[in-house]
Chain A
Amino acid sequence: MGQLSTRHLIGIKDLTKEDIELIFKTADEFKEVINRPIKKVPSLRDTTIANLFFENSTRTRLSFELAEKRLSADVVNFSASSSSVKKGETLIDTVNNILAMKVDMVVMRHPDPGAAKFLSERVKTVIVNAGDGTHEHPTQALLDAFSIREKLGADFKGRKVAIVGDIMHSRVAISNIYCLQKLGAEVMVVGPSTMIPKNIESLGVKVSNSLMDALNWCDVANMLRIQLERQGDDKDVAFFPSLREYTMLYGLDKEKLNSLDKKITIMHPGPINRGIEISSDVADSDQSIILNQVENGVAIRMAVLYLLAGSLGRN
């Protein structure tokens, strides 16, 4: 099997198209493995992986943990709520303390953009970014593209993907843009202009404020989760007036979907706010590949961990 061009997985920005295709090929094999009655392989036996979650996450963490266990790695979990971070320890100290206990790889979720890069430059271990603030979430983008590939075929050229919702606060959007573009797809971001970064065109994407225009344009619509805290409080001005109005403008329901003269594929990184950005009948329809995304998440993370572990000199 080949090797990745990077030692860490910080962001899709650092990957080549060949890296992404190698991850997909490896994930194909692992997907076959996790559908066997015995879902475990010994690839990372004797490798210890720490999942450091400085921000809440249920599914990403569960997905990584399952991927690690299916590869027979030893797994330790650390979450900020039960940690020394609140006692004022710096990130470097926290991670070095964990590494001193002979951990081989670190999977990290952190609220600050750049945290994974920061750490990769300062501690001696392999870092897998499981989301750094509003910067990147590379494994999510990989599993999204992998799911599109599974549904629509391996050739991304000319494929049109719309990413809908809160682009500004989304690490999923940035990573998806990089990933899909590297594979040859076209990307449009859609949402209220209050939640689209001013300079997003510089990334080579189309921008629209109309959901219907985007749906008519695209082959795939990736509906981002609206973070309920974006509604603002007494201190900050909200990005939109109410969920009700957001749904009116950007919520995807069966009526809008059926008005199209084609069948598009619907995605969502989860967790879903049913009835807000996506209605139940759309989420559960045969056009939706939301649960495939979740399944593929484990295979993609197995592939990433397996390929990065190559640099540990163990397999």
Chain B
Amino acid sequence: MRWLIKSAVIVDPLSSHHGQTKDILIEDGIIKTIKSKISDGKAEKINFADLHVSPGFVDLKANFREPGNEYKEGIWNGLDAAAKGGFTHVVSMPDTTPPIAGRADVEYLLRRSNGHTVQLHPAAAMSAQLKGKQLSEMFDMQQGGAVFFTDNAPVERTELMKRALEYANNFGAVIASLPCDADLNGKGVVHEGTTSTQNGLKGIPVLSETIRLMRDIALLKYTGGKLHVLLVSSAEGVELIRKAKKDGAQITCAVSANHLYFNDAALEDFDANLKVMPPLRSESDRKALVKAVKDGVIDAICSDHQPEDVEHKNKEFEQASFGIGAIEHTFSAALHAGLTVEQCIQALAISPREVLNIPYEGIEEGSNVDLVLYNPNESHQVVKDNLVSRAWNNPYIGKTMKGAIYGVFREDSSLIF
């Protein structure tokens, strides 16, 4: 298949064409030519106004609810939605039903997603069956294709966390944590702040995140392992990670686009679609998160896609499930948070590739195709019927968002919207 991308602004800090407007000719999954003007009668032409092209986005945290709850999304549909969000790689979380806790589970996911434009990268359980008691067979799962190991939930046993960091380091594997203290979270449902007080909702203090981060960073320094923090939500959390990086610990972290866009004041009207874990924090936390993306303390912006159906969300706030399902708006939310296009590309495409060790050579002639086509300046209103994801819990519906994704290319496969 031959494609000719016409006059696209190349945004890729690793490319020698960075910042230039070029035509790009693609054939059989390889970038053939990059030139100011290419004519090719046989190639399928791609022509959009104000077209930009960057390396495809990499999502470090999403859940497609398969196996177990396919009706909420499903892998194939979830990957379609990811493509609509500009992603060409997605890490799926292991807390499915049953969990991704053995090599056969990992291989099942890879088989199910095989052939899709978007590459699925399974993360697998850190503890056996996600029970938080014993180690899982991490080496075997890594051989099967698991990219890192996490319970995607608070790890209450300190000894287990220590052993996991030590053990995984034997074969260079990364442990990923969701830093919150279940004890301090209690029955909390929102950030402990003005809104929780006004609305009489139980609060989750920032302390829950910082106490757990302090523990995990101390364990990381002790063990010399590798840790990826799946989500950081607070200014204090950012500072702890900044210091740990400065101290030389092998730590990376991500923030969800939702935490860059919303703060806890948005929950004033008890919108259960904004109920998420960790909770949306205060405006000063939100600003600190945006700043940390800009200065690189936060490596990556992820979707934290957690699709839910109407029955789990359209109910009394305390009874509604946690999670936001908005993988299609990750880039738009990041733009609205005040990040430049280049800062978005760094946090959505470049740094997360480093976290996952995905080899990447930049948009150059002869390199493998792995691209997203978009226009950061086009605005559109989010309409439920136009969404690809099945998620009912999308708080961006009705909002006018800038940043339109036109399509993704990976190897010899493409999806154009």
Contacts and interface: CB of A to CB of B under 8 A. Distances in A.
Chains A and B belong together in one complex? yes
Interface in B277-317: 311, 314-317
A112 B318 contact: yes
Given A199-B193, A199-B194, A174 B200 contact: yes
Nearest to A132: B200
Give the interface centre of B186, B200, B311 by most chain A CB atoms within 10 Å: B200
B127 interface: no
Given A117-B269, A198-B205, A112 B196 contact: no
Contact of A197 (B203, B311, B319): B203
Contacts of B199: 113-114, 135
B170 interface: no
B201 A114 contact: yes
A113 B317 contact: yes
Contact of B316 (A110, A200, A203): A110
A133 B196 CA distance: 13
A84 interface: no
A91 B200 contact: no
Contacts of A236: 186
B192 interface: yes
A72 B214 CA distance: 63
Contacts of A287: none
A203 B197 contact: yes
Interface string A180-203: 000000000000000001111011
Interface string B239-273: 00000000000000000000000000000011000
B316 A91 contact: yes
B199 to A, nearest CB: 6
A113 B318 CA distance: 7
B200 A135 contact: yes
Contacts of B317: 112-115, 118
Given A91-B316, A199-B196, A113 B269 contact: no
Contacts of A200: 197
Given A174-B198, A200-B197, A202-B194, A117 B318 contact: no
Interface in A83-140: 90-92, 110, 112-115, 117-118, 122, 132-136
A112 B203 contact: no
Contacts of B193: 198-199
A8 interface: no
B200 A134 contact: yes
Interface in B345-381: none
Give the interface centre of B196, B198, B311, B318 by most chain A CB atoms within 10 Å: B198
Interface of B: 186, 192-194, 196-203, 205, 269-270, 311, 314-319
11 contacts: A13-B198, A113-B201, A113-B317, A118-B315, A118-B316, A135-B201, A171-B200, A199-B194, A199-B197, A202-B194, A236-B186
Interface of A: 13, 90-92, 110, 112-115, 117-118, 122, 132-136, 171, 174, 197-200, 202-203, 236
